[in-house]
Amino acid sequence: MVLGMSLSSFTTFHVILSLMAIAVGFVVVYGMAGSKRMPGWTAFFLLTTVLTSVTGFFFPFAMLLPSHIVGVISLAVLALAVIALYLYRLSGTWRWIYVAGAIVALYLNVFVLVVQGFLKVAPLNRLAPTQSELPFVLTQGAVLVAFVALFVWVVRAFRPRPALQT
């Protein structure tokens, strides 16, 4: 049992959390492209993405796995994004650091989604059973190129008005 849940229930919780983080992440990135701060959506994206990474460490494991490394990287970029947004309020270079952190965290969630899709969805698994086959490599390459383009677009477009000081 994981945190008082069966492994199956915990897995379902983790997957739902991950899918929510991805969906809300795209809403937040779209808002950034329009220079909108969207504080509620942004907080929810950051929280669900942090929880996605943290809950990934609660699955049983006997050795360090690539998923753990992705989780550590995700938490590190999320820490920078949170610092840039809430501590430095997107001033100066912290604006693009926030954009980079948010988009890299979203990319890592989508990267893992693709990995899990090729592992668990039978038609995809038949195309790339070892994840070294061309369909998997092309899919991950296309995702990476799309996120690099998204970063370039959003970092140029995101010019939010200064937050009100309270």
Question: Angle 111-116-122 (CA atoms, 0-180°, nearest 5)?
Answer: 135
Q: How far is CA 79 from CA 67, 75, 83, 103, 128, in A?
A: 18, 6, 6, 13, 34
Q: Is the pLDDT of residue 112 over 90?
A: yes
* pLDDT confidence band for 1 (50 / 70 / 90): low
| Distance (Å, whole) CA 67 – CA 57 | 9
**Could you give the count of Cα atoms lying within 13 Å of 114 in the half-sphere of its Cβ?**
19
pTM (two decimals):
0.93
pLDDT of residue 5: 84
Domain positions in the chain are 7-157
- Least confident piece of the model among 42-46, 60-64, 108-112: 60-64
Give exposure, 20-39, as e/b (b: 16+ Cβ within 10 Å): bbbebbeebbebbbeeebbe
Residues 6+ apart with CB under 8 A from 25: 45, 49, 102, 105, 106, 109
